[in-house]
Amino acid sequence: MEAPSINVSRIRMQDSTFLEQRFLAVLRVQNPNAVDLAIEGISYDLEVNGQPFAKGVGKGPVVIPAFSQGTIETEAVTTLPGLIRQIREVAHTRRPPIAYRLTGKVKLQDHPSALPFEMRGENLWSTRVSDTPQPAPTTQGAEPAEHP
């Protein structure tokens, strides 16, 4: 079985305290396999500009049909030092594009081990970002694949 392609679709601030910040991170999952992916859970690390930024987890069930794509909602947490480090980096370089790296494992139902994944992006700002807490979407899961 081939590992799915997983990237950041959108991020929204959920809650913030002095020492940590919680985000709702929606991940887009593309299934390149000829069988459905029944996702039980996912865990990941998010690096921004080459530095650790957040750790996240999410749980299913979410089914991504064969040769299709969908989303899974996750919760990511960063700490005050991680947030300050990123603010300083952006202020110092004055470059709005923010490179990111997403690495982790996705656990599938009826599969003996988790599948590792890694995705890099050149501009985290190109994802939808919001700092206003909003109600979570009521649905998650498969979306039809786009065909040219």
Number of domains present in the structure of the chain = 1
Cβ atoms 102, 75 nearer than 8 A: no
The per-residue pLDDT for 88 is 78
Let me know: does 124 contact 48? Beta carbons within 8 Å: yes
CA atoms within 13 A on the CB side of 3: 16
Spatial neighbors of 50 by CB under 8 A, at least 6 apart, are 99, 101
Report pLDDT for 126. 57
Comparing 18 with 136, the larger pLDDT belongs to: 18
Listed in sequence order, the DSSP H helices in 1-131 are 80-93
Query: In this predicted model, which residue has the larger pLDDT, 141 or 131?
Result: 141
Q: Could you tell me how many residues make up the chain?
A: 148
Which residue segment(s) compose the domain that 74 sits in? Answer: 5-127
CATH of the domain at 25: 2.60.40.1820
Which has the higher per-residue pLDDT, 88 or 36? 36
| Per-residue pLDDT, 29 | 96
Q: CB of 44 within 8 A of CB of 103?
A: yes
pTM > 0.85: no
In a domain, 81, yes or no: yes
For residue range 50-72, what is the model confidence (pLDDT) as tens digits?
889 899 999 989 999 999 999 99
What is the average pLDDT score of the chain?
A: 82
